[in-house]
């Protein structure tokens, strides 16, 4: 048993060092297209495409110019003309810029550059002209200035990188978000804006050891159908990742959701980790009550919702019909909004997918901050070890601690931060635990969809206990080789033979913690909510990927985050391994059904509205043996949707666990998170 626990601790340490969370659903790669239906990445803004043209011309060799002796002059001349076009664009003079590019610049380019080079340069000019047209069609005026969008196929407009608050840097680090600085001229959509600073993870949730992102991260994206329709419902998405990883760019391809739901989608970037949730007496010497709360990430999301209230009409959205939705830690943040008095009346419905964190006390938050300070003191060689660092910290004044923390770079602080960031019960932004607030009825009451997946824990087991040996001498981390996600190839029989106890043990480790997830984070909350409101809808996602070319159904199944493509309309799972031609018919039928339910809910607060061909999604009932959750599943050919009357209760699950062998029981208790 001790040997197993040592492997378990190593697995948790690996996750800690990565800054990755057991709740992280997203890759931190900038390649958002991994979730797309093919090549739907939009044409960039005219400024970005002009930059590409400038670089293209700058790299041309001397013999690409008709007068070789005037190469430098010709490049400078063309570059100056492109700079003039940029100025026209920034001033909103689209027609003047278009005419200057297609006539004046094009003529000068053809006169100075040899014919053989024209094709590529003319193609780039055509792209700029299309991009200018898109910018002209999508320019809208918001409270801070004018913004121009992009065309996102099929048939959507998108605006990327809109600031909803000042960059939280310098003196604004660990402060509530402030109003963004207004700008003159046109602000064009850009892909250069970084996600919040974080420890990087691979697509398969493994740490890379690198820190990516920036403190300057308070931006949001908007996506809507390419129609003239106004007063559309708003779907406000909060990404997951343990509140320490992930970003809005992972959900860039929201056009399928926007089209299917016929909504305006808003995807928000917010502060993560120590930049988003950090409390300590040393940081509360001045500022507003919100500045002293420690809940900066929560306040960012509230600020973005206020932005929606003031600006979403300009994009065709209805500020009086806003659904806040999130998955994993994003779902936790939705629950935090429901219990925050500051978020009252900013949203009207909620969707919570696999919420995986709970709010913590100020005391617990201070303890976490002290641990970070200790790690920093060791990292910069002020102290030799954590024990001496703790002793050193205890004699530091609050003024010294504040100066010390503010002297550290965001990278240094991020490396020292643990695996998840929980909202803090500060008494102002968040006044209670979610469970207590729901039980008492002291929360923002809105129609809600809340659910979890049958195999939540399965994707984490190869990471949590990576070095634990199997009976064949392999390691649990080799499960990733069976799935083919780490560049290696093994069979399940090699790692976990059918006649070994490994498979039974794997199922046990996934089963009970996953059941407890539903009991604690869905059923218990639903029971409390139902005491104060009627419109509570629960789901249980059970599609396991049967028909995949690898044993996905056994090793991952309905794992954490794998419901996301069914809600967003993607044609790939998160790891691109379970969707096959064999399971396509049933899978798409299930995806269409889920999206129909949620789109109706986002519009009306009732998932059954207009869905008479689908099974009726019953509201949660607190009466025993009456409807509780809708089951989302499919076989190879059709969706399998039905209501279940069973309620999962933590005490019943723990009773079953207590009947296991001593070492099985201890291991399960060690990996249950809440």
Residues 6+ apart with CB under 8 A from 346: 302, 305, 306, 308, 309, 322, 337
CB 291 within 8 A of CB 215: no
Exposed (0-12), middle (13-18) or buried (19+): which is 136, by Cβ within 10 Å?
middle
Selecting among 328, 354, 355, 528, the annotated active-site residue is 328
Question: How many whole angstroms separate alpha carbon 583 and alpha carbon 577?
Answer: 12
Which phi and psi (to 5°) does residue 631 adopt?
-95, 125
Q: State the residue for tokens 């024990």.
A: 387
Pairing of strands 629-634, 140-142: unpaired
Name the DSSP letter for residue 535.
-
Name the DSSP letter for residue 547.
T
Question: How many whole angstroms separate alpha carbon 408 and alpha carbon 266?
Answer: 33
Q: Which two tokens stand for residue 640?
A: 């399998």
Residues 6+ apart with CB under 8 A from 389: 373, 374, 375, 377, 378, 382, 383
Determine the longest span between alpha carbons in the chain, in angstroms. 88
143 is catalytic: no
Exposed (0-12), middle (13-18) or buried (19+): which is 612, by Cβ within 10 Å?
exposed
Q: 304: helix, coil or strand? A: helix
| Chain-centroid distance, C-alpha 348 | 21
Name beta bridge partners: 353: 327, 451
Residues with active-site annotation: 328
């Amino acid at each position: 048993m001790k040997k197993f626990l040592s492997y378990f601790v190593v697995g948790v340490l690996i996750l800690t060092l990565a800054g990755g969370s057991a709740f992280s659903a997203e890759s931190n790669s900038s390649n958002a297209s991994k979730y797309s239906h093919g090549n739907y990445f939009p044409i960039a803004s005219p400024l970005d495409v002009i930059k590409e043209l400038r670089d293209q011309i700058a790299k041309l060799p001397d013999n690409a110019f008709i007068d070789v002796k005037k190469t430098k002059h010709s490049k400078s001349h063309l570059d100056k003309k492109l700079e003039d076009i940029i100025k026209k664009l920034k001033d909103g003079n689209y027609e003047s810029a278009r005419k200057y590019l297609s006539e004046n610049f094009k003529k000068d380019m053809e006169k100075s550059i040899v014919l053989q080079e024209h094709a590529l340069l003319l193609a780039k000019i055509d792209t700029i002209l299309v991009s200018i047209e898109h910018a002209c069609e999508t320019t809208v005026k918001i409270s801070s200035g004018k913004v121009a969008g992009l065309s996102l196929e099929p048939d959507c407009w998108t605006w990327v990188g809109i600031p909803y608050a000042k960059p939280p840097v310098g003196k604004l680090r660990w402060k509530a978000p402030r109003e963004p600085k207004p700008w003159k001229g046109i602000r064009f959509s850009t892909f250069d804006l970084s996600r919040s600073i974080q420890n990087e993870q691979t697509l398969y949730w493994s740490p890379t050891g690198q820190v990516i992102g920036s403190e300057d991260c308070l931006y949001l994206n908007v996506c809507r159908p390419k129609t003239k329709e106004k007063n559309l419902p708003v779907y406000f998405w909060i990404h997951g990742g343990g509140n320490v990883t992930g970003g809005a760019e992972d959900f860039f391809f929201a056009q399928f959701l926007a089209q299917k739901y016929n909504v305006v989608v808003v995807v928000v970037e917010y502060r993560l980790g120590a930049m988003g949730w950090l409390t300590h007496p040393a940081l509360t010497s001045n500022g507003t009550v919100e500045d002293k709360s420690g809940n900066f990430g929560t306040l960012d999301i509230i600020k973005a919702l206020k932005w929606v209230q003031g600006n979403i009409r300009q994009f065709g959205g209805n500020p009086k019909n806003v659904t806040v939705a999130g998955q994993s830690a994003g779902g936790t943040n939705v629950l935090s909004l429901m219990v925050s008095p500051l978020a009252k009346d900013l949203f009207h419905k909620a969707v919570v997918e696999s919420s995986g964190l709970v709010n913590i006390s100020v005391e617990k938050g201070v303890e976490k901050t002290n641990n970070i300070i200790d790690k920093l003191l060791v990292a910069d060689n002020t102290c030799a070890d954590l024990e001496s660092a703790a002793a050193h910290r205890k004699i530091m004044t609050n003024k010294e601690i504040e100066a010390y923390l503010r002297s550290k770079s965001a990278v240094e602080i991020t490396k020292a931060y643990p695996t998840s960031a929980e909202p803090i019960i500060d008494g102002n932004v968040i006044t209670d635990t979610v469970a207590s607030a729901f039980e008492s009825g002291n929360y923002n009451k809105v129609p809600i969809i809340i659910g979890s997946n049958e195999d939540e824990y399965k994707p984490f087991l190869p990471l949590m206990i990576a070095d634990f040996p199997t009976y064949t001498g392999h390691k649990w981390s080799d499960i990733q080789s069976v799935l083919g996600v780490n560049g290696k190839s093994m069979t399940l029989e090699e790692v976990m033979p059918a006649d070994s106890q490994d498979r039974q043990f794997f199922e046990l480790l996934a089963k009970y913690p996953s059941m407890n997830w539903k009991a604690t984070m869905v059923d218990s909350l639903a029971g409390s909510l139902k005491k104060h409101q009627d419109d509570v809808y629960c789901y249980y996602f059970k599609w396991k990927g049967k028909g995949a070319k690898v044993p996905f159904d056994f090793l991952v199944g309905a794992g954490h985050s794998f419901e996301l493509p069914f809600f967003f309309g993607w044609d790939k799972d998160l790891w691109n391994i379970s969707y096959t031609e064999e399971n396509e018919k049933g899978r798409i039928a299930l995806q269409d059904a889920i999206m129909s339910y949620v789109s109706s809910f986002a519009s009306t607060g009732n998932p059954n509205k207009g869905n008479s061909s689908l099974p009726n999604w019953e509201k949660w009932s607190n009466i025993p043996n009456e409807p509780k959750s809708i089951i989302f599943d499919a076989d190879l050919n059709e969706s399998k949707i039905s209501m279940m009357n069973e309620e999962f209760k933590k005490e019943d699950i723990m009773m079953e666990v207590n009947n296991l062998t001593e070492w099985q029981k201890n291991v399960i208790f060690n990996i249950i998170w809440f």
